[in-house]
Amino acid sequence: MIGFGPHLMVDGYNANYEKLASVEAVTEFLETTVSEIGMTKIMPPYVFKYDGGDKPEDWGVSGFVIIAESHISIHTFPEKRYFSIDIFSCKDFDIDKAIKLIKEYFETEDLEIRTTDRGTEFPRDISIATSITNAQRNRLT
């Protein structure tokens, strides 16, 4: 198999204000999502509230959890009832289940969903890497 893994990107609209505004709720989301989609947490979630800087209406909560397989991140904008979530993994995971968890947790059906495969030329197996390298070298000679 070649390729690093799937990357799920979700933009959510009209989400639950209280959950978007809560460091505790975002922490809980990160904690539960890791185990629900079969990943391995290697550090506790890092979650903090941002004051919005020059645009106070852009305050929100951001969080990140490093998993053995890569990471899950979230940024919320409660005043706009918006969030963005990225789940990137070097192993396959149930994308539909992840989307369902996001919808249920943030209480919205209004999602913009994108997926992509990252590192499509990343060789997972050294024997595959060797055969690819040898094939490319043979083409050059």
Cβ-in-10-Å burial (0-12, 13-18, 19+) of 74 comes to buried
70 among known catalytic residues: yes
Q: How many CB atoms are located within 10 Å of the residue 130 CB? A: 11
Beta strands in the chain (DSSP E): 5-12, 46-50, 60-67, 70-77, 82-89, 111-118
Q: Is the pLDDT of residue 1 over 90?
A: no
> Which of these is catalytic: 7, 71, 73, 75?
75
> Which of these is catalytic: 62, 70, 84, 89?
70
Query: Which pTM was predicted?
Result: 0.82
Q: What is the pLDDT of residues 18-73, one digit of tens each?
A: 999 999 999 999 999 999 999 999 999 999 999 888 888 899 999 999 998 889 99
CATH topology for the 5-140 domain: S-adenosylmethionine decarboxylase (3.60.90)
> Which of these is catalytic: 35, 90, 127, 131?
90
Q: Is the pLDDT of residue 74 over 50?
A: yes
Rg, Å, the chain Cα set: 18
Q: What is the pLDDT of residues 90-128, one digit of tens each?
A: 888 899 999 999 999 999 999 999 988 766 665 555 555
**Sequence ranges of the domains in the chain:** 5-140
Alpha-carbon distance of 3 to 35, in angstroms, equals: 23
Q: Is the pLDDT of residue 134 over 70?
A: no
